[in-house]
Amino acid sequence: MEFNNVSKEHLEQFHSASESVDPSSVSPLVVNTIPKSPKSQKSYHGKNVLSKGSPSKGSPTQGSPSKGSPRKHDRHSHSGRDGRPKKGGYGGKGTWGGLLDTEDDIIDPNDPNYDSNEEKQLTITEPVPTKAFEEYKKKVTIIVEEYFATDDVVSTANELEELGMSDYNYYFVKKLLSLAMDRDDKEKEMAAVILSSLYANVLDPSQVHKGFSKLIESADDLIVDIPDTVDVLALFVARAVVDDILPPAFLKKQMASLSKDSKGVEVLVRAEKGYLAAPLHTEIIERKWNGNKNKTVDDVKANIKNLLIEYVLSGDKMEAFRCIHDLKVTFFHHEIVKRALTMAMENRASEHQLLDLLKEASEEGVINSSQMTKGFGRLIDMVDDLSLDILSARELLQSLISQAASEGWLCASSLKSLSLHSKKRLEDKTIRLFKIKVESVIKEYFLSGDILEAISDLESENCNSSAELSAIFVKKLITLAMDRKNREKEMASVLLTSLSFPPDGFVNGFLMLIESADDTALDNPAVVEDIAMFLARAVVDEVLAPQHLEEIGSEFSGKDSIGSKVFQMARSLLQPRLSSERILRCWGGGGSSKPGWEIEDAKDKIGKLLEEYESGGEAQEAFRCIKELGLPFFHHEVVKKALVTAMEKRNVRMWDFLVQSYSIGLITTTQMMKGFGRVADSLDDLALDVPDAGQQFAQYVDQAKNAGWLDSSFSSNRPAHVVENGISS
């Protein structure tokens, strides 16, 4: 059948349809470049021109002139239902394909209605789907299904290579991810793993990029069947960036090619802002589908040690780099640097080989400059310990630093100074024994909850008198608590409030904790949030003063450093009104192992314990009761009630109670200031019952200033401070 036989009326309908169709809406179904010679019609005659899939049931087939006639496509529905599929696509269930989906839509240059401009408009770049591609799609679907059933990466890679159609591998990427999106976390993790494994070896990078691009473009269609398409696909994109199979620039480049209101844009924004911008996003993303859940710090260290030993034996740098990449712990590469340098110092014969590995790893970008610097820095910190086994460790390390700096792969100016004379610190053996002892004390405390026993054990180790030992204990306590449930976290905070460590011990303990956060993150991806909460809780409990928090923050520069993130998060936790009460209950407690007290309950208990003390009770018992309340941020209530009682009953015993409370450190200067300020606020009401309340209060203020409780600027005639945390008198 010749195209010349088509009626003029039908050709006009065809022209009208081709002009009215939005080009962007027909991307999946396209017409190939129109041949200019009638002789070429035979090769196209009778074929369904689709870019994807086999012909639908409603598509015309070869050898059926009646069905292949363009007139046969000129149908009108009598049902009143629009047969076109959603979103401007074609080939939906129960439809006859698109307006341009005909087998004889070939323009004859000899036709009187022939228009060369129209031919140019219909010319597009998508290739016609071949039988080979259709066969590839069928086989790839089977390969993906088998992979999900067997979890055999090697077998899947072999089958994919045997197909011998690498130009179509983008479809494998798209099919793999689209099937995984509608399945469990297990299949999602398997899909991410195989893409990372086959990247650059079996799958060309351009095919991987194209597969992701196609999938993102189809997000609007996917969301019909997979409601959480945006979140799942965003996580796949973020995982691909983390696994180094998509460059970060892919997101912006892809976003520029999409319409602003498409779901694809939402996917890219979610990937960038929701996942890749989060603190410690690498660990969080990798564990989102329970991947690497059994990978611990010890496992990673063992793998690093093995790959370095294997490299020294074989000298194969590319294999070493592949092993480093397979570890997928870019944030822990400083361990590779530290261990390689240690091996070079221990075995001088392999020094050149190991330094050459680090140099090339830096030049190739396998290990970035910050990780390289951190690795050298860690070795500087432990050089004293290393000197016990390698007598010339300090001199050797200085030589390695000089060599690396001269070759240009280390910035020596960013390192700590390495003195050739060891600083005399506590004996290493003493510290090692202390760490073993305190770990036992902490674990026993978590089991028994006996604070007094824990304090007694620490006092026997002279922990209270040594800032260095105190810092080690603080770090160990919080590290062990973070790996446990909220009960242990609450118990750790309660124990910190009960200790009488030097201030430097608490500050240095938190500094050491933050510095080791990279290592801790392997076992605890939420380490930033946990440390920030412990830090904020320590400020609320007055374990740390606000200036100590600022001091800790000043030790870490750079917005992207973990220390800065912890500091900023802790400050944001402390800023809101009533933040103290919320932080106090962050782990379900109120400063004790029991649920937190309500403020009215706390006021009632404070009133009763002061009444008992006034009637002849012992001061030590009263102090114990105040400690058990576990509300150090509310001790200003004790000050207020004691002062009011002293003025109402002219009871000197209550003033003595405040003197003793301050002398043993139970009530701090800050709480004294708040308590006196609250009394100053209520003097007018108090004067109704105690006419000389103003005179008595002025005398107490003078005595408090002489004792150092109050600042000299405090005035008895006006409130010096507004009570914080939203707690009113």
Three-state secondary structure of 508-559: HHHHHHHHCHHHHCCCCCCHHHHHHHHHHHHHHCCCCCHHHHHHHHHCCCCC
In this structure, the answer to whether residues 194 and 165 fall within a common structural domain is yes
Of 361, 391, 412, the residue at which a domain comes to its end is: 412
24 pLDDT higher than 50: no
What pLDDT was estimated at residue 340?
Answer: 93
What residue numbers bound the domain in which 490 lies?
Answer: 424-584
64 pLDDT higher than 50: no
In this structure, the answer to whether residues 254 and 301 fall within a common structural domain is no
Q: Which of 328-337, 532-541, 592-601 has the lowest mean pLDDT?
A: 592-601
In this structure, the answer to whether residues 407 and 453 fall within a common structural domain is no
Q: What is the mean pLDDT of residues 214-237?
A: 93
Q: What is the tens place of the pLDDT at every residue in 269-302?
A: 999 988 888 777 777 888 888 765 445 667 788 8
Residue 164, in any domain of the structure: yes
Share of the chain above pLDDT 70, in %: 74
In this structure, the answer to whether residues 390 and 432 fall within a common structural domain is no
368 pLDDT higher than 80: yes
498 pLDDT higher than 80: no
In this structure, the answer to whether residues 191 and 266 fall within a common structural domain is yes
650 pLDDT higher than 50: yes
Residue labelled with tokens 């590995």: 357
- Band of residue 617 on the pLDDT scale cut at 50, 70, 90: confident
CA dist., res. 168 & res. 165, Å (int): 6
Residue 70, in any domain of the structure: no
Q: What is the tens place of the pLDDT at every residue in 117-141?
A: 544 444 444 455 688 889 999 999 9
CA dist., res. 254 & res. 262, Å (int): 12
70 pLDDT higher than 60: no
In this structure, the answer to whether residues 606 and 682 fall within a common structural domain is yes
DSSP track, 652-686: HHHHHHHHHHHHTTSS-HHHHHHHHHHHHHTHHHH
What pLDDT was estimated at residue 215?
Answer: 95
Spatial CA neighbour of 103 closest among 73, 60, 64, 71: 60
CA dist., res. 372 & res. 412, Å (int): 11
Of 412, 438, 458, the residue at which a domain comes to its end is: 412
Predicted TM-score (pTM) of this structure: 0.40
In this structure, the answer to whether residues 175 and 243 fall within a common structural domain is yes
CA dist., res. 416 & res. 379, Å (int): 10
Residue 408, in any domain of the structure: yes
Q: What is the tens place of the pLDDT at every residue in 141-159?
A: 999 999 998 888 888 988 9
90 pLDDT higher than 60: no
In this structure, the answer to whether residues 393 and 432 fall within a common structural domain is no
CATH value at residue 250: 1.25.40.180
CB of 89 within 8 A of CB of 53? no
CA dist., res. 662 & res. 656, Å (int): 10
In this structure, the answer to whether residues 402 and 428 fall within a common structural domain is no
531 pLDDT higher than 80: yes
Residue 566, in any domain of the structure: yes
Answer left, alpha or beta for residue 53, where phi above 0 means left and psi between -120 and 50 means alpha: left
In this structure, the answer to whether residues 270 and 328 fall within a common structural domain is no
What pLDDT was estimated at residue 487?
Answer: 86
Name which residue leads in pLDDT, 720 or 658.
Answer: 658
CB of 521 within 8 A of CB of 283? yes
- Burial classification of residue 481, based on how many CB atoms lie within 10 Å of its CB (0-12 exposed, 13-18 middle, 19 or more buried): buried
Terminal-residue alpha carbon distance, the chain: 97
Residue 261, in any domain of the structure: yes
Q: Indicate the number of domains in the chain.
A: 4
- Band of residue 63 on the pLDDT scale cut at 50, 70, 90: very low
Residue 170, in any domain of the structure: yes
CA dist., res. 597 & res. 589, Å (int): 9
Spatial CA neighbour of 619 closest among 673, 650, 647, 655: 655
511 pLDDT higher than 80: yes
Q: What is the mean pLDDT of residues 626-655?
A: 84
Residue 575, in any domain of the structure: yes
What pLDDT was estimated at residue 516?
Answer: 82
- Band of residue 110 on the pLDDT scale cut at 50, 70, 90: low
Facing residues of 199 across strands? 203
Q: Which two tokens stand for residue 156?
A: 């899947």
Q: Which of 175-179, 348-352, 565-569, 614-618 has the lowest mean pLDDT?
A: 614-618
102 pLDDT higher than 50: no
381 pLDDT higher than 90: no
Residue 528, in any domain of the structure: yes
Q: What is the mean pLDDT of residues 72-101?
A: 41
One-letter amino acid of 238: A
Average pLDDT, the chain: 76
In this structure, the answer to whether residues 279 and 320 fall within a common structural domain is no
Of 392, 412, 432, the residue at which a domain comes to its end is: 412
In this structure, the answer to whether residues 341 and 453 fall within a common structural domain is no
